[in-house]
């Protein structure tokens, strides 16, 4: 027995079928009640989103530049403490030493002129990327 192949439908038949289905759905009282409530729910959702975004705008500048890199270094230090809690853990001492070197590099880069600071930030960012990737490789099993 051969599988049934769907018959090709014209665009007109598909639109007509969709229109008929939409009419049947809209006859349902529950659907109509929910559609009537939708504008109020959308405005409540938008209000919640605005309130949430106001709370995050205060920390927005902490995502970029010197503050952003400092935040990433501190976050990495916290993760190393959690991921490698034993002081004798292989690689822990090297990670902590690298993090300390990044802290020093950030302290040096802070007062630099803009162009030089951006170059230093780029190097620090690259080192952070490598350390984060190395930590992921160390924690995840192969």
Residues 65 and 103 in one domain: yes
Considering the domain architecture, whether residues 51 and 68 belong to the same structural domain is answered as no
CA distance 72 to 92: 18
Residue 127 resides in a domain: yes
Q: Please tell me the least confidently modeled range out of 97-106, 115-124, 126-135.
A: 126-135
Q: Identify whether residues 97 and 131 lie together within a single domain.
A: yes
- Is residue 1 domain-resident? no
Angstrom CA distances, 72 to 17, 79, 80, 114, stand at: 55, 10, 12, 20
| Residue 17 forms part of a structural domain | yes
The model's pTM: 0.57
End-to-end CA distance of the chain: 47
With pLDDT > 90 as the criterion, what percentage of the chain qualifies? 32
- Band the pLDDT of 2: cuts 50, 70, 90: low
Give pLDDT tens digits for 34-70: 767 767 776 777 777 777 766 655 566 667 889 999 9
Q: Within this chain, do residues 101 and 125 fall inside the same structural domain, yes or no? A: yes
Co-location of 21 and 73 in the same domain = no
> In terms of residue numbers, what domain contains 94?
60-139
E strands present in 39-79: none
Both 131 and 88 in one domain: the answer is yes
Within its chain, how far is the Cα of 91 from the centroid? 28
CB 76 within 8 A of CB 135: yes
Q: Total structural domains in the chain?
A: 2
Question: How high is the pLDDT of residue 117?
Answer: 94
Show contacts of 7-16: CB within 8 Å, 24+ apart: none
Clarify whether residues 70 and 125 are in a common domain: yes
Evaluate whether residue 4 is within a structural domain: no
């Amino acid at each position: 027995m051969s599988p049934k192949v769907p018959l090709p439908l014209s665009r007109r038949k598909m639109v007509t079928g969709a229109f008929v289905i939409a009419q049947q759905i809209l006859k349902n009282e529950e659907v109509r009640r929910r559609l009537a409530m939708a504008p109020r729910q959308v405005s409540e959702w938008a209000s919640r989103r605005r309130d949430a975004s106001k709370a995050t705008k205060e920390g927005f500048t902490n995502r970029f530049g010197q503050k952003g890199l400092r935040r990433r270094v501190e976050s990495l230090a916290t993760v190393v403490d959690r991921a490698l809690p034993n002081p004798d853990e292989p690689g822990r001492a090297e990670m902590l030493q690298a993090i300390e070197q990044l802290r020093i590099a950030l302290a040096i880069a802070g007062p630099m002129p803009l162009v030089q600071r951006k170059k230093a930030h780029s190097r620090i960012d690259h080192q952070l990327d490598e350390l984060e990737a190395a930590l992921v490789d160390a924690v995840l099993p192969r």
